[in-house]
A and B are shown apart, each in its own frame.
Chain A
């Protein structure tokens, strides 16, 4: 069964600290993996998209890594800010072209405190 598991479920860190969020998936065949940031009360916004051949991709203080062999991805946030408080969702797309090939994780809720 195609699944996407994220950990931890929630995380609290102090402003300025780094953190890493994990995403493990069993989706096969694999097309791409996306990380979204969802602020409370708003729709998800894309942070990164990685295909099978990409190992790392950065977007400012956000760096995503992908190991397609072990089916693992991580999202590293550097020098966290209060505005990073949000839910981070990992989404994996299977290699077929149907829209339902998108498999969503349940997200990690990050709280950054001062």
Chain B
């Protein structure tokens, strides 16, 4: 199994631009999580999907952030417009059930907004 796949691995963009991060979960996993990691705040859960349905998006920082999961094998996290304070590493993780089992993390996308 290839594990959780994220793209791009690195993204550098200018303030105000739209950024789209992509994630392909492990086949057969029905829960997907988006996280953000910074030195100051550590890992933070942004949003959680179960069977493609958003269950809890209370961690999404503001309306500039949106996430979708159109099918079981693909999810996107979009930031529009991006700001320098959005610079972080964004991780996607999947798990066979809704949080009870071990989470498998992708390699992350390092986002830099200048």
Binding site for B on A (CB under 8 A): 34, 41-46, 49, 89, 93, 97-102, 104-107
Query: B87 to chain A: closest CB distance in Å?
Result: 16
The answer to whether B42 touches A46 (Cβ under 8 A) is: no
Query: B46 to chain A: closest CB distance in Å?
Result: 10
Looking at the complex, which one of A41, A46, A101 makes contact with B99 (CB distance below 8 Å)?
A101
Q: Which residues of A contact B43 (CB under 8 A)?
A: 44, 89, 104
Assembly CA distance A110 to B44 (angstroms): 21
Name the segment of B11-19, B55-63, B64-72, B75-83 touching the other chain. Answer: B55-63
Further pairs besides A105-B42, A106-B41, A107-B42: 7, Cβ < 8 Å: A43-B108, A44-B105, A46-B102, A46-B104, A49-B102, A99-B98, A100-B58
**Main SS class of interface, B:** strand
Closest to B106 in A: A43
The answer to whether B91 touches A43 (Cβ under 8 A) is: yes
The answer to whether A46 touches B103 (Cβ under 8 A) is: yes
Listed A/B pairs (25) with beta-carbon separation below 8 Å: A34-B102, A41-B108, A42-B107, A42-B108, A43-B4, A43-B106, A43-B107, A44-B91, A44-B105, A45-B105, A46-B103, A89-B42, A93-B99, A97-B98, A99-B31, A99-B33, A99-B55, A100-B48, A100-B58, A100-B59, A101-B99, A104-B42, A104-B45, A106-B41, A106-B42
